[in-house]
Amino acid sequence: MKRVFSGIKPTGHLTLGNYLGAMRRWAAVDQHQADALFCVVDLHALTVDHDPARVRRLSRQTATLLLAAGLDPELCTVFVQSHVDEHTRLSYVLECVATDGEMRRMIQYKEKAARERARGGSVRLSLLTYPVLMAADILAYGSDEVPVGDDQVQHVELTRDLAVRFNQRYGHTFVVPRATRPGVAARVMNLQDPTSKMGKSDDVGPGVVYLLDEPDVVRKKVMRAVTDSGQDVVYDRETQPGLANLLEILAACTGGEPEELSGAYASYGDLKKDTAEAVIETLRPLRERHRELCADPSYVEGVLAAGAGKARAMARPVVDAAYRAIGLLPPVVEPVLNAAR
Ligand code: TYM
């Protein structure tokens, strides 16, 4: 059975982009077809200015939302990254395979570092090395596939490069993974600025639909979405990015095709109305399940504890093999030590 791994960062409230681009497929497809692991990657949330209490809160909320979205601990492994030491153990070894030039070429690093510097802040070293930790997340589990939205594909490509390089230099150790993307809504855009991604780190988000937004709030945000000048509803990402975004969201929520759907609308208003209702209906079961799970926090804690145990057992032999392959001396086990005394 193939192995699938993916992760989500607790840096903000989860968005419709996270759901349509990634989580929904994890629940509907991946957990049924693969030996799948889904991780709340909390260490990644420390790469930018953060509030410790908020990261803790968001980690719990993210795990709860993963379960609310339909991840079933009977079918897959759900856990928190910092509960499994193997990620950071492997990350250091991979830093010895990666180059600083490679890191500096990563689009997300360039964008986030530029934003941070423009604000007069400093850039954490971990922001630069972040993709190596992400590679460790993936490679520690011998993952074949990594289901992600468009924005993470470059990081998965880097992961492939590091795996191939390590295997060539030190002997076959890692499975070389590949990214898988959804057919539609691989890049959900901000409703107020359809040229930039709908991101959870935007604290104030009139253009961001959060998974826990009340239906009225979703309706308002979608109805106020920026659309393009022109009269006709056409699907063209280049010239009509606002409309294309709405058509893709509608298609993802209803199972249609954006191009075909565009022919069904004579006005922007009708398209927005239907898109808003489709989003509300898509999120309804998730919101209800989230409410139930919040009433039973010990259930979520139990899932995470069991998940970490399973994940540790899977990652340990892979990371140990990487340590041996790269030249680290195996620790001497207790009985041998005692015999030598
Ligand atoms: P993160 O937390 O930003 O996003 C989690 C997943 O949601 C997808 N996504 C989107 N898809 C479509 N449209 C959007 N607007 C949108 N916003 C987010 C992302 O592509 C992602 O699949 N670096 C990763 C977390 C990570 C990871 C990993 C992922 C760490 N280690 C190992 C896979 C495997 C991140 O920041 O995702």
pTM of the model: 0.95
CA 324 – CA 75 distance, rounded (Å) = 32
Share of the chain above pLDDT 90, in %: 91
Chain centre to alpha carbon of residue 234:
30
pLDDT at 274: 97
CB 273, CB 264: distance < 8 Å: no
Q: Please report, rounded to a whole number, the percentage of residues in the chain having pLDDT higher than 70.
A: 98
Residue 8 structure tokens: 């989500």
Ligand 1 contacts CB of residue 190 (under 6 A): no
Measure the CA–CA gap between 186 and 189, rounded to whole angstroms. Answer: 10
Residue nearest to atom 33 of ligand 1 (CA): 6
User: What's the CA gap between 26 and 73, in Å, rounded?
Assistant: 12
91-105, 197-211, 262-276, 304-318: the lowest-pLDDT one: 197-211
Beta strands in the chain (DSSP E): 3-8, 35-40, 77-80, 145-147, 178-180
Residue 335: is its pLDDT beyond 90? no
- Identify the pLDDT of residue 251: 97
Residue 302: which residues within 8 A CB-CB, separation 6 or more?
Answer: none
pLDDT in tens, 84-143: 999 999 999 999 999 999 999 999 999 999 998 998 999 999 999 999 999 999 999 999
339 pLDDT higher than 80: no
Minimum-distance ligand 1 atom for the alpha carbon of 18: 7
- The atom number, within ligand 1, closest to the CA of 186 reads 12
> Does the pLDDT of residue 61 top 90, yes or no?
yes
| Crossing angle between the packed helical segments 297-326 and 52-68, to the nearest 10 degrees | 100
Which residue has its alpha carbon closest to ligand 1 atom 14?
17
CATH architecture designation of domain 215-293 = Orthogonal Bundle (1.10)
Q: In this predicted model, what pLDDT tens digit does every residue of 135-191 receive, in sequence order?
A: 999 999 999 999 999 999 999 999 999 999 999 999 999 999 999 999 999 999 999
Q: Could you tell me the two tokens for 60?
A: 């719990």
DSSP reduced 3-state for 79: strand
Residue pLDDT, tens place only, 22-43: 999 999 999 999 999 999 999 9
Mean residue pLDDT of the chain comes to 95
Ligand 1 center to residue 153 CA distance, Å?
Answer: 9
Instruction: Look at residue 98 and give its three-state secondary structure.
Output: coil
188 lines ligand 1 (CB under 6 A): yes
| The CA-based dihedral angle spanning residues 80, 82, 83, 89, taken in that order and rounded to the nearest 10 degrees | 130
Which residues participate in catalysis according to the annotation? 112, 197, 200
Sorted by where each begins, the domain ranges of the chain are: 3-181+297-336, 215-293
CATH architecture under which domain 3-181+297-336 falls: 3-Layer(aba) Sandwich (3.40)
pLDDT of residue 204 exceeding 80, the answer is no
